[in-house]
Every structure is written in C-alpha cells, then in structure tokens.
Amino acid sequence: MLKIAIIDDEIKARSASRNILQQVCPEAEICGEAGNIEDAIELINEMKPNLLLLDIRLKSGTGFDLLNQIEKENISVIFITAYSEYAIKAIKFSALDYLLKPLDPEELKKAIDRLDVKEVSTLESRLAVFEELMAEMKTGFQKIVLSDANGFNVVLIEDIIRCEGEKNYTTFHLANGQKITTTKSLIEFERMLTDSSFVRVYKSHLINLKHVKAYKKGKGGEAVMIDGSVVPISRDKKHLFIEELKKHL
C-alpha cells in the first residue's frame, strides 16, 4: 500500500494536495506533512513513506537538498512546483515525474499509476542521471532517460530514429536496432524533443529529421528513415516537415 508524505512549504498547497490525494487515491495512507527540510527528514525517518509528493522549492532549501539527506532506497518521488523553468526539462529527461501547481487531479492520478511500472530502479540512480543532465544544461541536452518494465535506459538523443505512439505507450526505435517501449504518451515526448531535430509528422509518429533518408510524394507523402522504415506524413504536416527538413540538411 502507498504511504504518502506531503512536503510543501505552503499550508494551502499541502491541504490541496491532501484533498486531491483522498479523491484520486483513497486507498493510500497519507502518513504526514512537512513544510521544511528539517521536519521532512524527521517525518520520513519516523513514518517510512514509500512516496513523497515533494515541492521543488522550499523556504529552507530545495527538494533535492532534502533527498540528499535521506535514505532513498524503496522510496519514490513526484515533484511538484509552481515554476515551469528550464531545469524542469532535466527532470523529465531523467524520467523523474513532476507536476505543475495547481495540481490537476487527473495528472496526479496518472503519475501515481505509473509508479508500479517505472519505479523498478532506485531513486538514487535516477537522481544521479538528473545531476548529469543538469550539467549539460549550458550546451543543451544530449541524452534522455527512457523507462521500461525492466528499469531505465540512458539514450543519446541523436541515436533516436523515430518514436511511435499507441495510446499511453511510446516505442523508441534506435539506430542500433534496439526498441524501447515506455509508459508515456507520444505527446509528452513531443514536448521534450521538438527543441531538437524532431517533428510530429503523423498522429502516431515523431521522427528525427537527422535520420530521414528520402521523401516519397503523395497526399501527405512518406518519410523513409535510415533503418528502412517508412513513416506516413499527414497532409496538414507536409509543409512543416519539408520546411524543418531543409533546416537540418
């Protein structure tokens, strides 16, 4: 059973989180709340929660400062924040969940539902990847972490040929022939990768323009990728695809 601790320096935010948790996850035990790092450490050591709903910015430091001071084995984290900052992208690239305030009940429920599938590996190893990605921020992100049923994979973005979505799953096709299926929708990866060389050319396809081998004409046409796969292009995406492709030639 989930034992959840709410760590947030705003009383109203803690109350809102508690109410939403009781609504979307009534079977979970909310074992306590804390508003600063010191109280949070005491709460975690005493109550042993297995999930933290953790604000990134606390008056006494950050959520990451807290995590550096606790035992991270057998504990999961969903970060919450009122700030949509560039650093948040590193959290997503690290496959660490985060939600923006005010919390959306449906999004929180989805994040909790994903825990059983993706939290195979330890939080410690995920945070190590996060710190590595944070160091890349000045030059731009070069890696992304993809979770699957067995743990997670650190992948160079340039090695991704294409992404294929089906409902709440996305399959990554890599240059070495490997396929990785994750439990996140294609639109989530589209938001992360479109700053790179990726374009959504069809409702279920996101492609890396650097790996386009040829273009076949048609109503929308088709992109032939370096692995031999042929990806359809919707008519309303044809112009965008051609314009973006020119930029990456």
Average confidence (pLDDT) per 10 residues, the chain, 249 residues? 95 96 96 96 96 91 92 90 74 86 92 68 80 78 88 94 95 97 92 91 97 94 97 96 90
Segments of the chain assigned to CATH 3.40.50.2300: 3-133
Segments of the chain assigned to CATH 2.40.50.1020: 142-247
Q: What is the pLDDT of residue 116?
A: 60
| Model pTM above 0.75 | yes
Pick the CATH number of 3-133 from 3.90.1150.10, 3.40.50.2300, 3.90.105.10, 3.20.20.210: 3.40.50.2300
Q: How crowded is the C-beta side of 103, counted as CA atoms within 13 Å?
A: 28
Q: What is the pLDDT of residue 90?
A: 82
- CATH number of the structural domain 142-247: 2.40.50.1020
Specify whether the CB–CB gap between 143 and 196 falls below 8 A.
no
